[in-house]
Chains A and B, each alone.
Chain A
Amino acid sequence: MLALDIAALEMRFPGLDTPVLSIENLHLPAGGGLAITGASGSGKSTLVNVVTGLEPATRGSVCWGDTEITRLPTGRRDAFRAAHIGLVMQDFHLFPGLSAYENVVLPVRLARRLKPGERERALHLLEISGIARPGQPIETLSRGEMQRVAVARALLPKPGVIVADEPTASLDRRIGGEVADLIVRLARAEGATLLVVTHDPALVERIGRHIVLDGGRIIEDAGKAEAA
């Protein structure tokens, strides 16, 4: 598990006068949980992109544990993300033509050989995520099942952090609740720090700490005490 430390972070896009994201200071302890809410355009996605190293920061620093990923070059950022950050996205981003199992191991396989035990771990993760047939082609699964496969994929390399961007937004209420439950449960069981962008009040409730973004700034930080 990894702690998150953000200091003097600023994200600017060309052609925009004001920064799309500006965070003076944010600390999330290792193994903690954080829900991020805000209207669209409030900087949530930009925050996700910069803490996962998908985008370089304009200024300031983002540290996961001892690693300041804002200082890493692209290749090392990619490698860090692959090793330490499990990503779950609103649109699943699974790859048709492959089975559920193949989707889970794909990112690892594209980077290196599977380590001994990773095959079993992948099958185990699928099982506890409620996917009965790992060999089933991904495009024949229901949307809820797809997101479960995506969760299993995020957890395969034993990441210290799980970042979920609107993981339940494209699912109906009941299925969304089940997926939310799965994410929180597995993050706890694996001891991973959990960062979730969501509109789902039930999910926010379960995570505890909750920040609200507006115009790229944190305007509310609730539940810090309990989470820390």
Chain B
Amino acid sequence: MMGFILADLRRFKGGALAVVVLIALSVALSVAVTLQERAVRLGSARAAEKFDLVVGAAGSETQLALSAVFLQPSPLPLMSGAVLEKLARDPRVSFAAPVGFGDSADGRPVVGTTTALVTALSPTLAEGAIFARLGEAVIGADVPMRLGAQIKPMHGAADSGGHTHVELAYTVRGRMAPTGTAWDRAILVPIRAVWQLHGMGAEAEHGHDHGDEAPDGAAAEDHDHAVHVEPDAALDEHFDAETPGIPAVLVKPKTMGDAYRLRQEYRSETTLAVFPAEVLTRLYATLGDARSLLLAIAIATQAIVVAAILLVTIMHVGARRRQIGALRAFGAPRRAVFAIVWGELFLLLLAGFALGLAIGYGAAWAISAALASATAVHMPVEFTRADLSLAMWFAALAVLVSIVPALSALRLSPAAALRA
């Protein structure tokens, strides 16, 4: 039986191949849409996971979330440094890290922040150590630089007409472990270095009695921040009301309740507080709509393809009347004829489905890889249990669809078929 089906398919290999390819492409379309949407959703959800609450100046919530989570370059309005001071002292906050965007190096974002955020992103570094002086940097896992390398930050991005800061070159001191987020592409530097490079050294007039991570008792530091930045100056991660303006603060609240209360409090005339995950969920709703639309188109394509294949096979059965009649005449039982015609089409549909799965998976994988290399956000391309039921549906449909020409073959009278 199988031998006959295969011999028959070999005989019509052009047509068989066309049917397989048609099915494969239409299946690949829906597979790719489903997988890709899931990959983007999961990937960005995981990327947002590390950022519970983002506080920024009043403006666009989406912009604030996207900038913080994906380090999307965009001019965020600055908010008063006093907000950072208040957050840092708030007992409900386990840490509040300022992030200063705007600079880049080789197309990678240079982000000013504090050691607290580095520790939060990568509790243990892949290599090296956290920055301890103004002129030091920690790089994300995907940044292709070695420890000790020099980074010349550029204001803005090269392709948008930025200029290089000649005043300071950072030295790479450490590398974070991979986080699967956009921060893997980032270069993290002390926030104060960023401020000073941009002439925002309001604290120049103040002598701070605080050193790195040590709240009290550290040696006082004398800063000379005209335009010159002292790369060897020690860190100062204490922020007061005189702190310069910052685009955003990443906040790690102690409890869920604190998170909601903080968000409530910092939604005001001048500041904005968002849960990035929530903002992304809203974006996914839009993304989900797009997915539904694409999927509907893909399924409609499949329906058209199936209808076309049905037409072709029914015509094909017509063209094979003699062969089918002869099979019956020479003693093949009707069930064998039915099984042959059904089996041939079912086999083609199944082969097309399998090929389509592979193509769709490959396409989603390639798209995810391209996206990941552009954003560093790891996009997991994976099948889930829900896909199994889709596959079952397809199999059931394939069984039903291939029954149609088989039934039409059964209705042929062998004598009439032989006469044809």
Residues of A within 8 A of B (CB): 45, 49, 52, 54-55, 74-75, 78-79, 81-83, 87, 89, 93, 95-98, 102, 106-111, 153, 157
Q: Could you say which of B64-72, B299-307, B322-330 contacts chain A?
A: B322-330
From B10, B330, B413, A107 is in contact (CB under 8 Å) with: B330
**A81 engages B329 (CB within 8 Å):** yes
Please give the distance in Å from A115's CB to the nearest CB on chain B: 14
23 contacts between A and B (CB under 8 A): A54-B328, A54-B415, A55-B413, A55-B415, A74-B334, A78-B328, A78-B334, A82-B330, A93-B326, A93-B330, A95-B4, A95-B326, A96-B11, A97-B10, A102-B7, A106-B4, A108-B331, A109-B4, A110-B327, A110-B336, A110-B337, A111-B336, A153-B330
Determine if B218 is an interface residue (Cβ-Cβ < 8 Å): no
**A95 engages B1 (CB within 8 Å):** no
In the assembled complex, which residues on chain A have CB atoms less than 8 Å from the CB atom of B418? 54, 89, 93
Known: A89-B418, A97-B8, A107-B327. A75 touches B334 (CB 8 A): yes
Distance between Cα atoms of A79 and B328 in the complex (Å): 10
**B4 engages A54 (CB within 8 Å):** no
**B329 engages A54 (CB within 8 Å):** yes
**A79 engages B333 (CB within 8 Å):** yes
Please give the distance in Å from A69's CB to the nearest CB on chain B: 14
* A-B interface, 4 closest residue pairs, ranked by CB to CB distance from nearest: A82-B331, A97-B7, A93-B326, A110-B336
Distance between Cα atoms of A106 and B1 in the complex (Å): 8
Please give the distance in Å from A82's CB to the nearest CB on chain B: 3
In the assembled complex, which residues on chain B have CB atoms less than 8 Å from the CB atom of A83? 331
In the assembled complex, which residues on chain B have CB atoms less than 8 Å from the CB atom of A102? 3, 7
Q: B331-350, CB under 8 A of A: which get 1 and which 0?
A: 11110110010000000000
Determine if B156 is an interface residue (Cβ-Cβ < 8 Å): no
Determine if B414 is an interface residue (Cβ-Cβ < 8 Å): yes
Distance between Cα atoms of A111 and B8 in the complex (Å): 18
Q: B307-333, CB under 8 A of A: which get 1 and which 0?
A: 000000000000000110011111111
**B329 engages A95 (CB within 8 Å):** no
**B322 engages A93 (CB within 8 Å):** yes
Distance between Cα atoms of A12 and B345 in the complex (Å): 37
Residue from A81, A97, A153 with most neighbouring chain B CB atoms (10 Å): A97
In the assembled complex, which residues on chain B have CB atoms less than 8 Å from the CB atom of A45? 419
In the assembled complex, which residues on chain A have CB atoms less than 8 Å from the CB atom of B8? 95, 97
Please give the distance in Å from A196's CB to the nearest CB on chain B: 16
In the assembled complex, which residues on chain A have CB atoms less than 8 Å from the CB atom of B327? 107, 110
Residue from B7, B11, B330, B415 with most neighbouring chain A CB atoms (10 Å): B330
In the assembled complex, which residues on chain A have CB atoms less than 8 Å from the CB atom of B414? 54
Please give the distance in Å from B341's CB to the nearest CB on chain A: 12
From A78, A96, A97, B331 is in contact (CB under 8 Å) with: A78
**A78 engages B322 (CB within 8 Å):** no
From B1, B330, B337, B419, A87 is in contact (CB under 8 Å) with: B330
In the assembled complex, which residues on chain B have CB atoms less than 8 Å from the CB atom of A95? 4, 7-8, 323, 326
In the assembled complex, which residues on chain B have CB atoms less than 8 Å from the CB atom of A98? 3-4, 7
**A111 engages B334 (CB within 8 Å):** no
Known: A49-B415, A55-B413, A89-B418. A157 touches B322 (CB 8 A): no
Distance between Cα atoms of A98 and B10 in the complex (Å): 10
**B4 engages A78 (CB within 8 Å):** no
Closest to A45 in B: B419
Please give the distance in Å from B105's CB to the nearest CB on chain A: 65
Distance between Cα atoms of A79 and B415 in the complex (Å): 15
In the assembled complex, which residues on chain B have CB atoms less than 8 Å from the CB atom of A108? 331
In the assembled complex, which residues on chain A have CB atoms less than 8 Å from the CB atom of B333? 75, 78-79, 82, 110-111
Distance between Cα atoms of A157 and B327 in the complex (Å): 15
Closest to B419 in A: A45
